[in-house]
């Protein structure tokens, strides 16, 4: 945080950029994972993480598996601890704020949430059941809360999960983590609205309030696409995963990145990992 920014906004916390931390050259212990327990990654996105792992190892860093869904005994609760809290009032205020604006199609679904009764979303969630976890998450988020007590109880549950995740990170003595950015290569614009709720890898660090950044690692190859089309390698089991697979059929040559994250207020360490990854990729 530069002094100029503090002059512009005195309410900002006084956290000047730690140049010494950023310039350190000691060995880092970095976790990695390719599945958050919610959204299956296509082969190109898994390969990007593994190539990033190799690049960082060549720079002298220690890379260790961080399969947090298995270690915590549950998948990342994206629907409950991100979507449902973002639209806690069923998007009533959001709809009011955007009432006179042209709404970006990618968020039109969130804006429309309040236009249908909560019982309708409960019915949809019951119909979907366990057959499609992405739709179930989305419908659950749209139900909203019956009271402030229910809302604060839910926030309390979220805080317990957040503290458990952070403790797991600390127990593994991690400096940072690398993981996918999205479960597939870049998608067609026409389906963005239909698959926006599958961006669970970005939501994870939004939920945790961890600093995160993205580095392009590789490009989609024909071999990636062939492997994605092979049901023995990649088997989509939700409507959104099937949509993403269809969308990526002609994705050869498109960029695939990797997400780097660190603990809160450790932006310098996050940036350092990103720098180290860029250096390592340049030597491959």
Helix (H, G, I), strand (E, B) or coil at 274: helix
Q: How many C-beta atoms lie closer than 10 Å to residue 163's C-beta?
A: 10
Beta bridge mates, 233: none
Helix (H, G, I), strand (E, B) or coil at 29: strand
Phi and psi (nearest 5°) for 171?
A: -60, -30
Domain spans of the chain, in order of start: 43-66+178-284, 74-171
CA 112/CA 94 separation, integer angstroms: 9
- Say if CB 124 and CB 139 are below 8 A apart: yes
pLDDT in tens, the chain (284 residues): 677 877 888 887 778 888 999 999 999 999 999 999 989 999 999 999 999 999 999 999 999 999 999 999 988 888 888 888 888 888 888 888 888 888 877 677 777 787 888 888 889 888 887 778 888 888 888 888 889 999 999 999 999 999 999 999 999 999 999 999 999 999 888 887 778 778 899 999 999 999 999 999 999 999 999 999 999 999 998 888 999 999 999 999 999 999 999 999 999 999 999 999 999 998 76
* CB within 8 Å of 198: residues ≥ 6 apart: 39, 134, 182, 183, 240, 241, 244
């Amino acid at each position: 945080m530069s002094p100029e920014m503090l002059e512009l906004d005195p309410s900002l916390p006084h956290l000047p950029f730690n140049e010494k931390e950023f310039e350190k050259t000691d060995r880092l212990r970095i976790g990695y994972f390719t599945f958050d327990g919610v959204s299956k990654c296509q082969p190109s996105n898994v390969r990007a993480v593994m190539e990033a792992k190799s690049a960082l190892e060549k720079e002298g860093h220690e890379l260790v598996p961080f399969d947090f869904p298995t270690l915590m005994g549950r998948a990342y609760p994206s629907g409950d601890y991100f979507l449902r809290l973002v639209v806690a009032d069923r998007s009533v205020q959001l709809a009011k704020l955007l009432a006179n604006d042209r709404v970006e199609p990618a968020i039109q679904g969130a804006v429309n949430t309040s236009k249908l009764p909560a019982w309708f979303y409960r019915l949809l969630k019951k119909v979907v059941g366990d057959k499609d976890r992405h739709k179930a998450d989305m419908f659950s988020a749209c139900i909203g809360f019956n009271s402030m007590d229910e809302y604060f109880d839910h926030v309390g549950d979220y805080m317990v999960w957040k503290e458990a995740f952070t403790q797991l990170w600390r127990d593994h003595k991690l400096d940072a983590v690398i993981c996918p950015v999205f479960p597939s290569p870049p998608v067609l614009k026409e389906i963005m609205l239909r698959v926006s709720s599958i961006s669970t890898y970005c939501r994870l660090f939004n939920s945790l309030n961890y600093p995160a950044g993205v580095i392009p690692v590789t490009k989609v190859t024909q071999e990636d696409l062939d492997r994605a089309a092979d049901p023995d390698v990649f088997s989509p089991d939700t409507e959104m995963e099937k949509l993403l697979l269809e969308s990526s059929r002609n994705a050869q040559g498109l960029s695939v990145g990797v997400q780097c994250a660190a603990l809160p207020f450790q932006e310098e360490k996050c940036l350092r990992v990103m720098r180290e990854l860029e250096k390592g990729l340049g030597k491959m």
